[in-house]
Amino acid sequence: MTALAWIEERARSGRLRPLDAALAQLVAAHTDADDERVWWMLAVSHQSGQGHVCLDLPAAQRLFDDDCPWPRPQALPDPDGDIVGIPGDTALLIRDGERLYLARDWQAEAQVLWAIRARLPWRTLPGGVLAQHAAALFPAGHGDGLDWQKVAAMHGVLRPFAVITGGPGTGKTWTVARLLALRLLTARALDPHASLPRIRLAAPTGKAAARLTESLQASLAELALPEDIRAALPSEAVTLHRLLGIGRDGRPRHNAQHPLLVDQVVVDEASMVDLGLMTQLLRALPADAGVCLVGDRDQLASVEAGAVLADLCRLATGAYSPDYAARLAAEGLPVPAAAQRPEQDLVVRLTRVHRFGERSGIAELATALREQDDTALAALRQAPPADLGWLPAQRPEVLQQALAALRPVVQVAAEGADPAAVLAAFGRFRVLCALRRGPWGVEQFNQELVRALRQGGLAAGEWYPGRAVLLTRNDWALGLFNGDAGITVRDPADGSLKVAFATLDGAVRLVAPVRLPSHEEAWAMTIHKSQGSEFEQVLVVLPDQDSPLLTRELLYTAVTRARRRLQVAGPAGLLAQAARREVQRQSGLAERLLRD
C-alpha cells in the first residue's frame, strides 16, 4: 500500500481525522509521498487531535501500527525552514528543542508564556495592608496551622497571574468571594479616590458559569461589606465565549486590538480551558489586568489540545521562593520556603474539604483515586460510608438502581408538574457511563432505560413527559448549545409537550421538540459530557472489564460529579487498575516557562 493510500484508508475508517489526512497530503504535495515530513505532519496533527500540544520522539515512536508504510522515526526531523522550522520561522511545523509542534500550537503556547511572564512580578501593596483587611474576612479557627484559603485569597490579590486549585468542596468558591472583596478593599485603601477595579467572572461552560454565580452569591451574602464594595462585586459569571464575544465563526470580538474593559478576571473550572481558548482570553486582556485561574488539577482536561492549569500545577511544589515566602510572611502567613524559581510560585493548592460531613465516601474515594491508594480503595469497597454504594457489574441490578432514581422524575413530569420543579428533579440524578459504545456504553444503557420505562407504561411514542434529551449540536438562533440537557414537560399554557431547559439566570426555557437541534437520550451520559456539572446523586457505570479508556482523570471526574450520594457499578479491582492509568498531555509550557 502506498503511503497516501494508507493515510486515506485510516481517515476513512475514522482512525485519523480528515484534518490530519489533509495536512499530510498538503506536505506530500510539496515534497513527495514518501518524505518523512509527511509522516511527521500526520503524527503531530494526530497528537493535537488527542489533546497534546506537541510531540517528542518517544511518543512518536509509539504512534500508529506496524502496517505504517514509513519506518519508525529515529530522530526528530531536521529543520528545513519551510515545512519544519525553528522558533521564529514561518513553517508548518516548529521544532523547539526536543519537541515538534504545529506552528499554531507553538505560537499559542508562546502567547500564554508571554502573558504569564508579564504578570510574574507581584503587585506592590504596603506590607500588612492585606492582613488588616483579611482579618474580618477570615475569622480565626478554621482548623490548625496555616489557613490556606487565606493564603489563596491574598495570593490572588498579590499576583497578577494566580492559580488556585483544589478538589470538590475544598472551598475554592468560598475563597474566591473573599479574594474579590479583598481586591476591592485593598484598592480602595490604597487610593480612596480612584475607581474600583472592574472584575469579571467566567467559566468554560454555561452550567459551570451558572453554578459559580449561585455559589458565589451565597458566599458573598455571608460577608459584611461596605455598600460601594458590594456594588462593585460582579453579580454573575458568564461563559468564556460570551465574555470574549466569540460568535459562530469562532472569532472573538475582544482581542489585542479591542481588549476587554476589565482589571481582574477570575476563571472557574479552568481545568477545562484548552490552550486555544486560554490564548484568546489572554490576548483580550489589557496588559495590567489580573488573571486568576481556579479549578481542580486532577480532573479531565478539555478534549481540545492543551491543559494550562494542569501544566502550571505540575510546576508547583507546595513551597515558595524565599522572596515570595517573605512577602506572604509580612502578611502573617508563614508559607514553606524553598530555593526555587518564581515561575513555581503561581499556584496555591487547597486540600481541606469543607462541604461534606465528617466522613464522606465521595471525598475519600476521590482522594484514593488521586493518590492511587489501593488499600484505601479496598477499604472503601469493603466498608463504604453512607454516601457511597457499590453494585456488581450485573445488568438487572444496575438498571434497577437507575430506574429507581429516575422513575419518580418521569412520574412528576407525567403528572404535569410545574416545569421548574421537573427540571430541578431532573438535575438531581444522572447515570454516568465511562464508555460510549458496547454493552456498558451510554448508547445501550439509555436504550435499555427507555425500554424499561416503556414496559412500565411511563413512556409512549417518541416524545412523552419525562423524556430527557442531551443536545449534540449548537443552535445559535435558539441559544441552545451542545451539551445542554433538557426534559420533556407539559407546557402549563396549553398542555402541549415542550422540552424544558434551565437558562443561565436560573429561569426555565420551553422549546417545542420539533425545533430542537440534534440530540440523544440523556438519562445516561458519558463522563466526558458531565464535566462542569454536578448532581445530588450519581450512578457511575463502568464496563465489566478493564479498558485503556478508563483513566484516573476520567474516574476522578465521575466521582466528583456527585454531591450527596454516589453509586459505582463495576467489578472490584477496576478502580485500582484505572487509577494507575494517568493521562499525560504533552506540552512544553512548564519547561519553556522555566527556560525562556
Ligand X SMILES: Nc1ncnc2c1ncn2[C@@H]1O[C@H](COP(=O)(O)OP(=O)(O)OP(=O)(O)O)[C@@H](O)[C@H]1O
**Annotated binding residue 332:** no
Residue 263 CB, nearest distance to ligand X (Å)? Answer: 23
Nearest C-alpha neighbor of 213 from the set 231, 239, 243, 242? 239
Nearest C-alpha neighbor of 462 from the set 408, 514, 411? 514
> Which residue's beta carbon is nearest to the bound ligand X?
171
Nearest C-alpha neighbor of 149 from the set 122, 123, 127, 170? 170
Q: Which is nearer to ligand X, 67 or 144 (CB)?
A: 144
Q: Which is nearer to ligand X, 222 or 397 (CB)?
A: 222
Q: Which is nearer to ligand X, 219 or 444 (CB)?
A: 219
**What string of DSSP letters covers 254-275?**
-SSSS--S-SEEEESSGGG--H
- Determine contact, residues 505/242, Cβ cutoff 8 Å: no
Q: Which is nearer to ligand X, 24 or 292 (CB)?
A: 292
Residue 566 CB, nearest distance to ligand X (Å)? Answer: 13
Q: Which is nearer to ligand X, 60 or 294 (CB)?
A: 294
Q: Which is nearer to ligand X, 350 or 589 (CB)?
A: 350
Cα separation, 144 vs 12, in Å, equals 60
Q: Indicate the residue type of 246.
A: I
**Annotated binding residue 213:** no
Cα separation, 235 vs 558, in Å, equals 30
421 dihedral zone (left: phi>0; alpha: psi -120 to 50; beta): alpha
Q: Which is nearer to ligand X, 51 or 166 (CB)?
A: 166
Tell me how crowded residue 502 is: count the other CB atoms within 10 A of its CB.
22
Query: How open is the CA angle 115-121-125, to the nearest 5 degrees?
Result: 130
**Annotated binding residue 466:** no
**Annotated binding residue 170:** yes
Residue 222 CB, nearest distance to ligand X (Å)? Answer: 8
Nearest C-alpha neighbor of 346 from the set 203, 167, 164, 168? 164
Residue 353 CB, nearest distance to ligand X (Å)? Answer: 8
572-586 b/e (C-beta count within 10 Å ≥ 16 → b): eebbbebbebeeebb
**Annotated binding residue 171:** yes
Residues binding ligand X (CB under 6 A):
142, 149, 166, 168-174, 215, 219, 354-355
Residue 294 CB, nearest distance to ligand X (Å)? Answer: 8
Residue 587 CB, nearest distance to ligand X (Å)? Answer: 24
**Annotated binding residue 169:** yes
DSSP secondary structure letter of residue 285 = S
**Annotated binding residue 168:** yes
Q: Which is nearer to ligand X, 150 or 552 (CB)?
A: 150
Cα separation, 347 vs 343, in Å, equals 9
Stated as kind and residue range, the H or E segment containing 325 is helix 322-329
Look at the block and give the residue holding cell 514561518.
90
Nearest C-alpha neighbor of 199 from the set 282, 291, 117? 291
**Annotated binding residue 2:** no
**Which residues sit in the known binding site for ATP?**
166-173
